Structure 1
């Protein structure tokens, strides 16, 4: 009988009843021990396809061998021994058709038709199969009548998906392509290869559909599967907690596997766009030019799961059976990788073409075709730096140093904080600024300059903030190329800001951080299994890439923790008492200096009012940045930085007015007290207006930039630094002119040979005035800001910050403890304490004589001024 004589009714029977007929036939052949060529052919072509399955599992997982055996046995026995249902409609006819096969009829074509039918049938039917129960509770899980039928149905669907993937491989490879078998001219080759690529694209799309259905069914079956396999029978309260933990593990595994599905879908979309071109360097040879997003990126998916190593110790504290749960996830992951994903990926026809072409020797009658992938033209990023938010970097560091168990429900605040940090870090990464200038210590702690590869490693580590983001390698490369690509690249699509940093960092770490790559050897076991159980596992060492941090990663991370993040919140245990003392002393002496200037009438002149404004501004700045933010935590860090920078600029502007008054007094030979009170108030209001107008303009500009977008943070900080630098430069110009006029006057007096008993300026006085000049110039502000721009010396920046707290005592010494102010203060206090005490210059006998003396002094001063 011709093969089609038997194949036609058999295929028609399968089309009407599905693969259940084949399952029934296999069960009958196996249990009834039916002999004959037809039965042997059926067993070889379909029934016994999975009589042996190899799964490579990490050696540590074998400690839970009973779980691994239970999981794999349930899956394998569901393949080998489907439920016997000879009474099912079509089963008898199917068995008769198979028994009727002879050696002449059991052909290769029938096997191919059967394989194609099984694959196509599962694509159509497996998506709709399954169970409506996806969320389990104590009642549904403990009821055998509810759990076992659902689990059996899900396991049967998993069997169909597994066989469809394996047999779909045979179906896709049945077609013989002429460009592999014989010589074709250029026209024929260019016509046939696109058809071949379309065939590859269709195969990949079908495989992606099967894998997607498989992941969905694994997720649906995991809770009842774990309940049966792990033999868990606690009380209702503990069982409810156990169910919650297993569901969280199911979600973790589903997220891990979902990225592979996305990659297979991307591959199916891209394969048809591969180009065929003649090699310009070697005429007569052709190249299949792959796009950047090709199937070779699938090799970056790891063959083993790291859940037990990452979370086992933490999760056992909350759930004693956590290690068993994670071992179950490891076994299912290995099953998915080796039985499904690796099976489908390794048989992509493109791989087979590449292998055959490179294996066959080149002969004159052959036309070699080479497959070349597009390179991502981007330099090594191992030494690149990035400026990022310090708070989010602290969150990454805490997640690595103190990982939490993902089997526990995280507080909503923690989840929200992680999502906010992903958005913030994505903005930092896409902005790509290597360094943002700062004007205060708070701004220094707001931004951290980190190595880009270290940042990528910390972000996408499995115990970090990207646990719930699927690992799609092709999407990662596409997004990373979008951010770091060249000018010839296509414009970027709108990326999801919540997940983009995870996607891009994965591509950066795997492809562009050569010095951060680590290769270690993982001890794993290849474990062949059949319906009898686990037998003869062969253990060896397998290469596992990028699973452990390198020494360079650890050194960078240690320097980040000790050099930057450690000083973020001023919580240095050894120096905290010293810092608090310095802050208190600074506030105290600034307050005393301001009090003296308010108390003494002689100091309430125009320069005194300006200096008083300077002191008040300084106290407000300290209260905001050192007290209010640190104690109460308000306002937030960015607002506090803006306030601190604005008040630093205002201090410099007050010094501008003060230095200008010094210059004007020397230039016009006018004493500060010459103005009467009304005129002094008028001039002070004018000085106040001239000071606040430019300060307000700068402040409004920076606020507008920072509130408009975080991308303008760099510009707002640059505006502050430029304004402060110009202000300090103005101070130095005014003080330089004063010094120049002083030297010119001294030289003139020497030329005129004018001598007096008192020196024109003693060395002590010159040293005192020099210190006062340096203080008024604002050079200390520039030095402090200069330290803030340095990278990697956070400890020294902290020391400089503490040293600046000595400014209050320094100002008190320079402006109060001098020969002009201190005697007046002492006399005023003594007079207030004892009114009968007569100070120097008050020894006259009567008020008339004192008024006369005062009049003489005023006339003398007027004459000297005229001269």
Structure 2
């Protein structure tokens, strides 16, 4: 028979039947005692040889008896009989006859047919119907007939899938090697014509692999609970069995999340096959290479080769679930079994020699980003106080994690290394975090991404979108809830070598055979490729995290317990003395002039700010933090504007030689109303602008804070200009008097008065405000910021001392208070009825002083 006709006839036969016929052929070939024909040998090498070698690699501790890992994995290994079927089996005999007549020229067509036939047969026959709505509960698990029948079907299905994947991977690897090395020595023109066929075959292979993986993951998720029930032999009361079933469902969901990432990545690779190219090697004619896009199947190697559920979660769950170690150990072992028998070989199919598109990745180990403090606190708490994943999470916790992921992504998209801080509350709202540290905290096993499947190709695609297209986030494949998880994983694995590392373990390997036997090999530590997990933090990562905890998060809610009484005392004193200063200015008529009314506005604004941020918010938590930050920053700006008016009044009084009491009360009230209008107009404009920015989009948060910071800075600069002008005029006047040789025995002021005036100048200039805001911009020194925050609470007592307890105001206050007890006594300096009486009283005082001096 013509070889091409034989091959065609065989392919038709293979396509018409299922893999049982191929097993029949393999069994007959295995029983050949004489010399094999070329076709027998080809069939044996491409399909039959090493049919039953399946592997499991795990920690030796997890495989030691009485571990359930090996017995459970044994049930997942495909079975195949070794006795050849009867000779009268027509289909098997026909296929065997055609195989024996195969020649070298028809081998490639045979390989293609086997690849397609094995996949098509399994996709068609490996699906178990009627289990989509199957829910394992106590009743269904305890019904032996139902459980055993269903589990048998599922085990057979996953065995067939495992077997099909094993066959196809080996066939494709051989076929691709043969094609790319052009072993058939066909002409270059003929080879070029074969390239589209090869790429189409490769695309079909990956598409079929995605379908097989999807089917396998689905069946594996369905069989895990009944398989564990039979292997673990649960003998307990109904309540404990209910708890065990609920825990196993959580464990099933955890494994399903891990395996779903495989399916998504293989589907993505199949879509990327359209961008694969075949090129001739420049230095080796006749040898061809694959030119691949960046998103190629090499990225599959970033998936975890081993799980660490047993190491990470046993201690957390053993108090509630006494068999937690067995449960997690079983999950780790099954993941490893399917990784090496379903997923591992996919990374090397066709990877003979290749050139890849390059992505110029930068080291992001020192990059910083400003994010929400509460979200970082949630990430830190998840690492410091992890919870058992087998427990039901409250809906509020799940919603909080999702909101936090959305918030973190919004923060990261802003790309702001630092959001200006205008108040202590704003300092607790935002935090500067190292991007790699944030990625590790987010993508960690204990983080907020536990329920988000890990797709490496999607992560790299999203990371490229984030870094290469900062203004266009529409290129993201992930949704807004999962984007931070996707990008964080790519950042951690590709850009942050100093923040995570592979931790090696003492590993053991188990080889399984189709006859049900197995062989264990110990101590595989020499294999450098065997790692367990990829998110182990380096010393640098742990140091950054400890610094974050101790330097910032610990103090964000005023949680320095040893300083709590001191802080509360200072806040109370600040409010009391500000209130007393306000009362004095309202009580004394002499202080109710224009500067006095402005100073009174400063005090009222300060009291309102302290009550809002230090009392109401911290006692009731109302309003929310971001709103309170806006109110606190707005009141800080208003205080600065009042200081502007006060400093301007000082400058005007000195410049025009006009005393504050020159205006009558009615005129003073009118002038003050005008001054207040001048203050409130720019303040309202700034507040409306910042509110509008924050309402439009969260991306404008930094812009609104910059507006506040710029307004405060300009205001304080104006104060310094006014006070500098006053000082300049004083020095200019003193120098002029010296040039005119005008001398006086009296001094301008005593040392005490100089101190009083200097401190007043500092208070009125707003230098304290700018120093405090400057401290707030610093990161990593939160404890010192907290000390500065406490120190600012002495402003109330200081203002009372320097504005009330001075040589002008204190005597007036003392005389007014003393007049309550002796209203008939005229105190020194008390106003009399007329100018004549004031002159008479002054002469009496002068004579009295002259008589005393003469004595």
1:522 aligns with 2:505: yes
- Write out aligned runs for 1:437-452 (5 A): 437-452=420-435
Q: Give the distance between the partners of 1:726 and 1:12, measured in 2 at CA.
A: 85
1:129-169 Cα shifts (integer Å, max 9, x gaps): 46245321111111012111111111111111112112223
Change over 3 Å in CA distance of 1:833–1:147 after alignment to 2: farther
Kept in 1: contact 2:815–2:827 (CA 8 A): yes
The answer to whether the Cα contact below 8 Å between 2:72 and 2:231 also exists between their aligned partners in 1 is yes
Counterparts of residues 210-609 of structure 1 (less than 5 Å):
210-276=212-278, 288-346=290-348, 348=349, 350-351=350-351, 353-354=352-353, 371-485=354-468, 492-493=475-476, 495-530=478-513, 531-541=515-525, 542-543=527-528, 544=531, 546-609=534-597
Identify if the C-alpha distance between structure 1 residues 783 and 285 changes in structure 2 by more than 3 Å, giving closer, same or farther.
farther
Structure 1 length-normalised TM:
0.88
Q: Are the equivalent residues in 1 in contact too, given 2:508–2:520 (CA < 8 A)?
A: no
Distance 1:735 1:337 in 2: 74
Instruction: For 1:187 and 1:502, locate their aligned partners in 2 and report how far apart those are by CA, in whole Å.
Output: 48
2:278 & 2:45 partners in 1: Cα distance? 39
Structure 2 match to 1:73: 74
Distance across 2 between alignment mates of 1:467 and 1:695:
46
2:56 maps to 55
Return the offset for 1:812.
0.5
d(CA) in 2 for partners of 1:398, 1:229:
36
What's the counterpart of residue 121 of structure 1?
Answer: 121
Give the C-alpha shift of residue 408 in structure 1.
0.6
Give the 3-state SS of the residue equivalent to 2:388 in structure 1: coil
Q: 1:772 aligns with which of 760, 768, 774?
A: 760
Residues 172-223 of structure 1 show CA distances to partners (whole Å, capped at 9, x for unaligned) of 4458537622667776555433432222121111111101110000001111
Retained in 2: the 8 A contact 1:165–1:343? Answer: no
Q: How far apart, in 2, do the equivalents of 1:487 and 1:412 lie?
A: 34
8 Å CA contact 1:115–1:170 kept in 2: the answer is no
> 1:641 & 1:184 partners in 2: Cα distance?
75
How far has the Cα of 1:763 moved from its partner? 2.7
The answer as to 2:138 corresponding to 1:138 is yes
CA distance in structure 2 between the aligned counterparts of 1:396 and 1:490, rounded to whole angstroms: 24
Residue 491 of structure 1 and its aligned partner are, at CA, apart by 7.2
Rounded to whole Å, the distance in 2 between the matches of 1:136 and 1:661 is 81
In structure 1, what is the equivalent of residue 628 of structure 2? 640
Name the CA distance, whole Å, in 2 between partners of 1:291 and 1:11.
33
* RMSD, aligned CA: 3.5
Count of residue pairs the alignment pairs up: 824
* Aligned twin of 1:360: none
Following the alignment from structure 1 to structure 2, what is the Cα–Cα distance between the partners of residues 47 and 274?
Answer: 30
Q: How does 1:615-626 map to 2 (within 5 A)?
A: 615-626=603-614
| SS across alignment from 1:317 | coil
The DSSP-based 3-state class of the residue aligned with 1:372 is strand
1:741 corresponds to 2:724: no
Change beyond 3 A, Cα 1:515–1:185: farther
Specify the SS of the correspondent of 1:462.
Answer: coil
Specify whether residues 422 and 104 from structure 1 end up closer, same or farther in structure 2 by C-alpha distance, changes over 3 A only: closer
Is the CA contact 2:462–2:477 (under 8 Å) kept in the aligned structure 1?
no
**TM-score computed with the length of structure 2 as normaliser:** 0.89
Would the alpha carbon gap of residues 630 and 189 (structure 1) be closer, same or farther in structure 2, given more than 3 Å must change?
farther
Cα pair distance change 1:675/1:534, threshold 3 Å: same
Q: Which residue of 2 aligns with 1:152?
A: 152
In structure 2, how many angstroms separate the alpha carbons of the residues matched to 1:340 and 1:778? 69
| CA distances 1:571-593 after superposition (whole Å, capped 9, x unpaired) | 01122222111111111111110
Segment of structure 1 superposing worse, 579-588 or 107-116: 107-116
Does the residue aligned with 1:180 lie in a helix, a strand or coil? Answer: coil
- Deviation of the 1:320 alpha carbon: 1.3
> SS of the residue aligned with 1:375?
coil
**Contact 2:46-2:170 at 8 Å conserved across structures:** no
- The Cα shift of 1:405 comes to 1.0
Change (3 A) 1:187 1:822: farther
- Written as runs of structure 1 = structure 2, the 5 A alignment for 1:820-839 is 820-839=808-827
Structure 1 position 687, deviation (Å): 0.7
| 1:814 equivalent in alignment to 2:802 | yes
1:358 paired residue number: none
Deviates more, 1:748-757 or 1:435-444: 748-757
Aligned residues of 2:421 and 2:777 also touching (Cα < 8 A): yes
Do the aligned partners of residues 804 and 282 (structure 1) sit closer, same or farther apart at CA in structure 2, a change above 3 Å counting? farther
Residues of 2 paired with 1:317 and 1:193: CA distance? Answer: 60
More moved, 301-310 vs 692-701: 301-310
Q: Distance in 2 between matches of 1:259 and 1:857?
A: 98
Q: Closer, same or farther in 2 for the Cα pair 1:46/1:146, shift >3 Å?
A: farther
Partner of 1:802: 790
Helix, strand or coil at the partner of 1:560: helix
CA distance in 1, matches of 2:91, 2:284: 55
CA distance in 2, matches of 1:116, 1:282: 31
Give distance in 1, aligned partners of 2:99 and 2:284: 48
Q: Aligned to 2:635, what secondary structure does the other structure show?
A: helix
Q: Secondary structure at the match of 1:521?
A: coil
Measured at CA, do residues 281 and 637 of structure 1 come closer, stay the same or move farther in structure 2, by a change above 3 Å? farther
Cα distance change on mapping 1:184 and 1:21 into 2, 3 Å? closer
Correspondent of 2:655 among 644, 667, 691: 667
Task: Please give the secondary structure, in 1, of the residue aligned with 2:503.
Answer: strand
Q: Relative to 1, partners in 2 of residues 1:434 and 1:185: Cα closer, same or farther, differing over 3 Å?
A: farther
Local SS of the residue matching 1:448: strand
Cα deviation, residue 435, structure 1:
0.9
Inter-partner Cα distance in structure 1 for 2:486 and 2:809? 66
* Distance in 2, Cα, partners of 1:444 & 1:764: 37
The reply to whether residue 681 of structure 1 matches residue 703 of structure 2 is no
**Greater shift after overlay, 576-585 or 716-725?**
576-585
CA apart distance, 1:659:
1.0
